[in-house]
Chain A
Amino acid sequence: MTAQSIRWFWYASPQAFFPLAGRIARICAVLAGIFALAGLYVGLFVAPTDAQQGEVYRIIFIHVPAAWMSMFIYVVMAFWSAVGFAMQTRLSAMMARALAPTGALFTFIALWTGSLWGKPTWGTWWVWDARLTSELILLFLYFGFMALQAAIDDRRRADRAGALLAIVGVVNIPIIYFSVQWWNTLHQGASVSLSRAPSMAATMFTGMILMALAFWMYSIAVAMVRVRCEIVETP
């Protein structure tokens, strides 16, 4: 066993992780602010007006990063749930609990901004197509996870029940992501793909990535503060 692996095990202890979480939260909060200011500046002042959609496309700088975070946070939550379920590590379950509210928030933001973008471009606030419906199911999965945790008094049983729901629910993530390919939907295809160059202007892409980084740093900062509360509150 190397010294590096011992350090990882050391931080698996809630008491050892507590000060580290505080340092991570502070750094990420500062980075979130910097990225958000840069992203908003590029998105609102630098990026050009879209030739087809006009100014309304600027919702993309909130909508797409929020949708990415809604899926990413769920995957991370399911990962920590699975680790906690398999290895009975208390910190893993705390991490999953700390992530859920922020994941639900970004899912709601993705749905809300999508609706505001849909009305002027599609002519409707909502349509029951595969992408929108699977994203709504994701919101219900987050709510279900939090409700299950709150409904069971025994902490270990609550963590196991929540972990099962999180692990089963992760099947919804590829459904959301690939829904625009698997079914005919009103929603457009993926904004960014690893297999091809971005189809949008460079400044639009930069603004979107900066906002995604801002939301990412924000999520880590908030989750670290929440996990510190969880550590203190858990008997």
Chain B
Amino acid sequence: MGGYGGYVWGGYGVTFALLAIEVFLLSKRKRETKT
């Protein structure tokens, strides 16, 4: 990434980690509500 890896992967990593956390929390809620 031409010396910018920390910035680029920091952006992509946090983004997909947050989306994964949202999906996980929603799946948990879904299981608890038995939908």
Interface residues in chain A, defined as those with a beta carbon under 8 Å from any beta carbon in chain B? 49, 54-56, 58-59, 62-63, 66, 101-102, 105, 108-109, 112-113, 116-117, 119-120, 218, 222, 225-226, 228-229, 231-233
Contacts and interface: CB of A to CB of B under 8 A. Distances in A.
A112 B14 CA distance: 9
B1 A228 contact: no
20 contacts: A49-B2, A54-B4, A55-B3, A58-B8, A59-B11, A62-B15, A102-B22, A108-B18, A112-B14, A116-B10, A116-B11, A117-B7, A117-B11, A222-B26, A225-B35, A226-B29, A228-B30, A229-B26, A229-B33, A229-B35
A116 B7 contact: yes
Contacts of B12: 62
Nearest to A29: B23
Interface of B: 1-4, 7-8, 10-12, 14-15, 18-19, 22-23, 26, 29-30, 33-35
Contacts of A56: 1-2, 4, 7-8
B34 to A, nearest CB: 7
Most chain A CB within 10 A, of B4, B19, B29, is at B4
For the complex of A and B, the 9 pairs showing the least CB-CB separation, nearest first, are: A56-B4, A55-B2, A113-B11, A55-B1, A232-B33, A116-B7, A54-B2, A228-B35, A116-B11
Contacts of B35: 225, 228-229, 231-232
Contacts of A119: 7
A189 B11 CA distance: 21
Contacts of B1: 55-56, 58
Nearest to B35: A228
A63 B19 contact: no
A2 to B, nearest CB: 32
A59 B7 contact: yes
A55 B3 CA distance: 8
